[in-house]
Amino acid sequence: MDSPTVLRRRLGSELRKMRDGKGLTGAHIAKQLGWSESKVSRIESGKSPLSDKDAKLLLAMYGVQDAQEIRQFTALVRKSRQPGWWHAFGDALPDWFRAYVGFESDASQIRTYQNELVPGLLQTEDYARAVIRSMNAELSVDEIERRATARIQRQDILTREHPPRVWAILNESVVRRVIGSPAIMQAQLKHIAEVAETHPNVTVQILPFDAGAHASMGYSFLILSFDDIPGSVAYSEGPTSATYMDRPADLNRHEEIFQQLMASATRPEKSVAWMKEIADGHRHER
């Protein structure tokens, strides 16, 4: 399964390898083609779509002359410009979030630490609606429903033929804070426990309050990795924008933080049992 987002990244990676193989710099390519250096960088990082014309210019620069190889490459370029399933939801997904959905749909491993919210891949519909409503008071009922539907559809990756390995670490506040109602929270926590118990590719830990200060105070993030694309992507988001980080220094730091959180969090099997206990407590709050 190749989303347009990940396919662009794969094509960019191949172009970067070709350039490196010729001993050329991005600045040299930009000068020869009359482009800006940022255009070369964005193409190689997969952040910008690639036109057929630009693809052929780059292949010529790198000495690719085989007609079949050029046709195969440009066919992938065209495929990378096709909209993903999430485009059918239009404005239900903000533009800045669509790139993330593309990465998520092709990731082989997704690791996340969440300070306040259940990750979208583990949310129930009622919980999703309550979160979307609380964070977007201006939305109509129909708009809330469309966003919730899109969020739930993302969860299809957990049961596909080759699902990603998901490791979620949740701050204790995530399972303690009542979102929507005690009944919604009870169902949500039972759902997380059930997914963790029945899906061998999903692991969940709770970071307890008594773990004290930690390396990701006030900061939620994800690390997405891919089987056939070098490197990972670290991701964090705010109310109106998102940050993607793929520099080695940034990725190494996020890897270190996640390892520290894993060590401080309650063991997975104990976390699931604890979540069930908290769910029972929400039942009594009705």
Residues counted in the chain:
286
Q: Which residue has the tokens 């891919």?
A: 226
Question: Per residue in 69-106, is it b (16+ CB within 10 Å) or e — as a string?
Answer: eeeebbebbeebeeebebeebeebbeeebbbbbbbbbb
Q: How far is residue 20's CA from residue 236's CA, in Å, rounded to a whole number?
A: 30
Instruction: Give the pLDDT confidence of 109-144 residue by residue, as tens digits.
Output: 999 999 999 999 999 999 999 999 998 888 899 999
* Confidence tier at 260 by pLDDT (50, 70, 90): very high
Of 34-48, 157-171, 204-218, where does mean pLDDT reach its minimum?
Answer: 34-48
Second CATH level (architecture) for the domain 4-80: Orthogonal Bundle (1.10)
Per the prediction, the chain carries an average pLDDT of 88
* Confidence check: pLDDT of 86 > 50: no
pLDDT at residue 253, as a whole number: 96
Instruction: Give the pLDDT confidence of 18-41 residue by residue, as tens digits.
Output: 999 999 999 999 999 999 999 999
pLDDT at residue 85, as a whole number: 53
Q: How far is residue 116's CA from residue 123's CA, in Å, rounded to a whole number?
A: 13
pLDDT at residue 230, as a whole number: 65
Q: How far is residue 79's CA from residue 73's CA, in Å, rounded to a whole number?
A: 10
pLDDT at residue 238, as a whole number: 80
Instruction: Give the pLDDT confidence of 49-84 residue by residue, as tens digits.
Output: 888 899 999 999 999 888 888 888 887 788 777 665
* Confidence check: pLDDT of 257 > 70: yes
> Which segment, 66-80, 253-267, 270-284, is predicted with the most confidence on average?
253-267
pLDDT at residue 73, as a whole number: 83
Contact 273, 204 (CB under 8 A): no
Pick the CATH number of 85-284 from 3.40.50, 3.10.450, 2.70.98, 3.30.870: 3.30.870
* Confidence check: pLDDT of 271 > 80: yes
Average pLDDT, integer, range 173-199: 96
Report the predicted TM-score, pTM, of the whole model to 2 decimal places: 0.74
Q: 174 or 286: which carries more pLDDT confidence?
A: 174
Report the 10 Å Cβ neighbour count for 271: 24
Average pLDDT, integer, range 92-115: 80
Average pLDDT, integer, range 224-230: 78
How is the chain split into domains, by residue range? 4-80, 85-284
pLDDT at residue 1, as a whole number: 47
pLDDT at residue 285, as a whole number: 64
